Amino acid sequence: MIPIRDTIPSKNYPVVNHTIIGINVVLYLFEMSQGADFNRFIYVYGLVPARYSVPQIASYFSTGQQLLSLLSFMFLHGGFFHLLGNMWFLYIFGDNIEDRLGPFRYIAFYLLCGITSGLSHLVLNFHSNMPTIGASGAVAGVMGAYLILHPHAKILTLIPIIIIPWFVEIPAFFFLGLWFVLQFLNATGTHGSASGIAWWAHIGGFVFGIVFLKILLALPETGATDRMRRVTAKRKTHRLQVIRPIGPGKDPHLYGTLHVTTFEALVGTKKLVNIPWGFQKRIVKVIVPPGVKEGSKLRLKGLGKTTSDGQRGDLYLKVAIVN
């Protein structure tokens, strides 16, 4: 299952989330430039439990290096697909958490999730000499927080069936709950770090993400957060929208609602619309003309119901302008 996007739009541009993704990409490129020193680089800046539990190994590292690796490991990745997977999940779920916490609390939240996920791995693999790297634990914390904030959201998911892409909406509590169960089964079924994947870091990050969310939500927002929200407020709705049309009675036409911002209504925009109807799921391109008004209807010819004589009705999308 490959998540494409969630159905909870964020109200602000996720500046911090995008910055974190950018930092991970830059550091990955720096890793790849290490050449023959790559393994040494990973051992120094990755999280190696034996560096903390075996005195003979710990003696080779300064206190600063020991502390730094508890932070630096979460910004390193072992390969392109490792990086891509982590950053894609962070891109999908992180914006909503930043939207709720604000940029400053979100920075603290993300770093705390990453550090505690690393400590979870360290404690449960105390003598392992294998370096652990990756943002998986911090991203797991983001996913845990998302489960609490938006359990009934839908995750638009791509399920590839051979070569046929199948898009389906899965409730967030099921998608994230299944993910957590799989991490737990892998953790309990794998001896130590033999698999090379820090399963307990994923679990620790997920659980601590829920804990830190509760703590940070109890803290009041600052005036700086309010100012940042005004600066980062979005001028556009998401390019991909899921619309669930209705078709009353024998009416051959279907009816749905397309959301645009005031800015988009003024200048016009283009959207990709996922339309589930029965067993049919299709994505169509919708062009919203400039100057469209609240309640205006856009006609998509031939996307309605099939009548008894084989004709197809139309899909009418009512424009709803949101602030």
In sequence order, the 6+-apart residues with CB closer than 8 A to the CB of 13 are 232, 233, 234
Report pLDDT digits (tens) over 197-219. Answer: 788 899 999 999 999 999 999 98
| CA atoms of 301 and 201, how far apart (whole Å) | 51
DSSP 278: T
pLDDT at 22 (0 to 100)? 97
| C-alpha distance across the termini of the chain, in Å | 33
Q: How far is CA 35 from the centre of its chain?
A: 31
With helix as H, strand as E and coil as C, how does 193-206 read? CCCCCCHHHHHHHH
Unique residue bearing structure tokens 């989330």: 17
Which strands sit side by side in the sheet containing 154-161, from one edge to the other?
Answer: 2-6, 154-161, 164-171
Per-residue pLDDT, 278: 55
Is residue 174 a contact partner of residue 113, using CB atoms and an 8 Å limit?
A: no
Kind plus residue range of the DSSP H or E element containing 21:
helix 15-32
- pTM, whole model, 2 decimals? 0.80
Q: What confidence score (pLDDT) does residue 277 get?
A: 63
Residues of the chain under the 50 pLDDT cut: 192-194, 279
Question: Could you give the domains of the chain?
Answer: 2-232 (1.20.1540.10), 240-322 (2.60.260.20)
Beta bridge partners of 277: 280
pLDDT single digits (tens) 261-305: 888 999 999 998 888 765 456 788 999 999 999 999 999 998 888
Q: Copy the structure tokens of residue 88.
A: 């894609």
Residue 6: strand, helix, or coil: strand
- Cβ atoms of residues 117 and 205 within 8 Å: yes
Pairing assessment for the beta strands 240-242 and 269-277 based on DSSP bridges: parallel
